[in-house]
Amino acid sequence: MKTPWRVTLFPLVFTLILLAAHIAHAAPRKQATVPAIYINDLIPDAADPSRLAAIELSDGGQGETSLPELTLLLYDTASDTVVASYGLAGAQTDSVGLLQVETDIAFADGNLANGARRVNAVFLVSGTPEQSPPGAPIEPSTIIDGVLFTSATGTARSTDSDTAFQVTTFATGFALQAGAAAVPVQGTVPPVAVNQPQATIPVEENPNCGIDATFIHEIQGAADATPRNNATVTVEGIVVGDFQNTRTQLRGFFIQEEADDFDDDPATSEGIYVFDNGFGVDVTVGDRVRVSGQVAEYNTMTELKRITDVTICAGDQPVEPVRVTFPLADAIDMEQYEGMLIRIDSPMQVAQNYFLGRYGQITIVADGRAYQPTNLYPPGSNDAIAQAEENARRLLILDDGQDIRALGDNPNPVPYLGQPPATVVRAGDSITDLVGVIDFGRINSAPGSDVGLGYRLQPTAAPSFTPVNLRAATPPDVSGTLKVASFNVLNYFNGDGNGGGFPTTRGAKSAAEFERQRAKIIAALSAMQADVIGLMEIENDGYGPESALQDLVNGLNRAAADAGHNARYTFVDPGLDRLGADEIAVGILYNTVTVTPTGTAATLNTGAFDQELADFGRSRQPLAQSFQDQQGEVFTLVVNHFKSKRPSGEPDASNVDRGDGAGAWNGRRTAAAS
């Protein structure tokens, strides 16, 4: 079975509803009722990019939709006949709403081909394959969605001769640039084009193009903020970044002044972000456009909003990226590139990937790994300040071009990585081919949270990652006799303990989601073969047979038995109904074959753990237990879960974020460790 590879750099909907002329002029017929299914992507064969390996369908993100009687047709508009058909009745989309249908199509003589037959269109229709046999014309009233080609590298046109849609060939294959909104069809299907193009590309340049306009550098100015705030302006420039999708992207696009119109001041940016928010004109990278709107600062990034006009003046006008070298002379130097297309020439590495899964962001760094200043020096010291300033000149955020306000957390897939586990990125890995636009916005944070802001690179092409920091198959040999581990189980909530009780307050939203989480955690714990394990973020629901702790122990023991490990795990029971008042707690697991508890477990509920403290200001109670190994030696393990560094809102000076790198709650963490 072929393994399709997605060539799209971002999870855009690349659906173009393009119908042959005979369809567009057909008389209305009985309309078909269909579900919200549409063509989402065309996927080339990874081994032979000239072949179309699969057609991807989407249900709009609903997931696990069983398809009714639908059929995919390969079509030849020249002969007005079906070439091949693929029945879809009974097929089902996956958990994220996608279904890939394998095909056997290759580019030949400038057209898609299926054997000796030419194919220049793909249609999704209602009905069975028997109702659309090879050699028969298409029934217009059954059409749900479609894509029309003229060549592998040329232009596909709709029945409106002024509307052109570019078909681009990448090094790894081909993809369609968005030319129409891919709106899921609801209810009945019109007998002709379902999703009309959002804009036409004129054959001749609009007479308004080229007349007086405001230069982008005049809007940006040489300072951090625009000197033209709230002004209504008209600008002309080249589209260098297209992120218009209002459901999955940034809801706008980036334009850059033509090179001949740059000014002589290196401090003024020649690019700007246009927040068009579904205005309705679909632009493409390389278009020269004329845009009218209001100048604004959003999270201190200069942009155009309240758009009143977007005119496409011309197409196919590529822009050479500005070359940037890291480390910068000063971190503020990135302001001169805000909104512009850049290429990073310096060797870069992954500094950290902690927020990749949640926000689609990776911190990248020049000149080797970056260290947390307070990990090397005392908070607020001159050395710590100098280290922070050096880091700022070396670091940049690689973002995913998606708007968390619309898409939410946990992007899947991350556009520049593809569908997991296609690419695993580790801290220390090297990155090349870094090309994209610079913006300024949220860093590792979501709307409504404490906002961190910074410069971000929104890639316009997928960067290349080279594994450098490979994961070791086994940990280094430290010549010990016991293995003690800690593990954050990330809000391990098992519902009611009997398969129900979902969604949980902090953990899994469904039983299926919990099973995925559970399988991963148990597999990791089993592979570690630790004698004692300290847990963080286990559900604080006691120590009974339906508790999260017991559920985890049950699964771990089954995994150990299946793997042939000499292990039988249980948990430490402190003799309490719950460990403190928080929804999550710490815990201790141990292998009864290798260690034996001595004495009773201990905890604290005073000081930093005082139950009288406000819930948000209280540290979670620790848990301590002594163990004896097989040689009779005794050791004591204390498991603690320190307060985070998030702002406290507390008047106590020891817990306020002083801006020295220690973060908030430093006083409470210090007390908890004492």
**Do 132 and 249 lie in a common domain?**
no
Dihedrals phi, psi of 569, to nearest 5 degrees? -95, 150
**Do 351 and 450 lie in a common domain?**
yes
Is residue 562 included in any domain, yes or no? yes
**Do 488 and 461 lie in a common domain?**
no
Query: How many CB atoms sit inside 10 A of residue 314's CB?
Result: 17
CATH of the domain at 260: 2.40.50.140
**C-alpha–C-alpha distance, residues 414 and 2, integer Å:** 23
**C-alpha–C-alpha distance, residues 93 and 431, integer Å:** 34
Whether the pLDDT of residue 153 is over 80: the answer is no
Instruction: Look over the chain and give the mean of its residue pLDDT values, rounded to a whole number.
Output: 80
pLDDT given for residue 351 in this prediction: 95
**Do 142 and 30 lie in a common domain?**
yes
pLDDT given for residue 589 in this prediction: 99
Mean pLDDT along residues 549-568: 98
Is residue 191 included in any domain, yes or no? no
**Do 492 and 610 lie in a common domain?**
yes
**Prior bond of 190 cis (ω within 30°):** no
**Do 391 and 278 lie in a common domain?**
no
Across 85-107, b (16+ Cβ under 10 Å) vs e yields bbbbeeeebeeebbbbbebebbb
Residue 538 structure tokens: 């286990």
Q: State which residues form the domain around 382.
A: 346-405+414-466
Cα 641–646–650 angle (5° rounding)?
Answer: 100
Whether the pLDDT of residue 661 is over 60: the answer is yes
CA-closest candidate to residue 147, choices 127, 130, 167? 167
If DSSP codes are grouped into helix, strand and coil, which group holds residue 526? Answer: helix
Mean pLDDT along residues 596-618: 86
**C-alpha–C-alpha distance, residues 505 and 518, integer Å:** 17
Question: Which has the minimum average pLDDT: 65-79, 195-209, 431-445, 587-601?
Answer: 195-209
- 635-652: per-residue pLDDT in tens? 999 999 998 887 766 667
Is residue 240 included in any domain, yes or no? yes
**Do 435 and 462 lie in a common domain?**
yes
- 256-276: per-residue pLDDT in tens? 999 999 999 999 999 999 999
**Do 454 and 488 lie in a common domain?**
no
Is residue 628 included in any domain, yes or no? yes
Instruction: Tell me the CA end-to-end span of the chain in Å, nearest whole number.
Output: 60
Is residue 226 included in any domain, yes or no? yes
Whether 258 and 289 have beta carbons less than 8 Å apart is answered as: no
pLDDT given for residue 601 in this prediction: 98
Confidence of residue 379 (pLDDT cuts 50, 70, 90): very high
Q: Which of 176, 202, 234 is the last residue of a domain?
A: 176
Give the pairing type, strands 453-459 and 395-398: parallel
pLDDT given for residue 223 in this prediction: 93
Whether the pLDDT of residue 591 is over 60: the answer is yes
**Prior bond of 137 cis (ω within 30°):** no
- How far, CA to CA in Å, does 158 sit from each of 17, 18, 165, 312, 392? 8, 5, 8, 18, 49
Task: Say what angle helices 511-528 and 548-563 make with each other, to 10 degrees.
Answer: 50
- Residue 239 pairs with which residues in a beta bridge? 255
pLDDT given for residue 445 in this prediction: 64
- 176-208: per-residue pLDDT in tens? 333 322 222 222 222 222 232 222 223 345 667
- How far, CA to CA in Å, does 11 sit from each of 249, 360, 400, 402, 435? 8, 13, 10, 9, 18
Is residue 61 included in any domain, yes or no? yes
**Do 250 and 141 lie in a common domain?**
no
pLDDT given for residue 19 in this prediction: 30
Dihedrals phi, psi of 395, to nearest 5 degrees? -100, 150
**C-alpha–C-alpha distance, residues 232 and 617, integer Å:** 47
Mean pLDDT along residues 602-609: 92
Is residue 196 included in any domain, yes or no? no
The number of domains in the chain is 4
DSSP 219: H
**C-alpha–C-alpha distance, residues 317 and 288, integer Å:** 7
Residue 505 structure tokens: 């307050």
**Do 502 and 612 lie in a common domain?**
yes
**C-alpha–C-alpha distance, residues 256 and 238, integer Å:** 5
pLDDT given for residue 633 in this prediction: 96
Is residue 208 included in any domain, yes or no? no
pLDDT given for residue 420 in this prediction: 59
Dihedrals phi, psi of 507, to nearest 5 degrees? -100, -140
**Do 396 and 514 lie in a common domain?**
no
Whether the pLDDT of residue 160 is over 50: the answer is no
**Do 141 and 169 lie in a common domain?**
yes
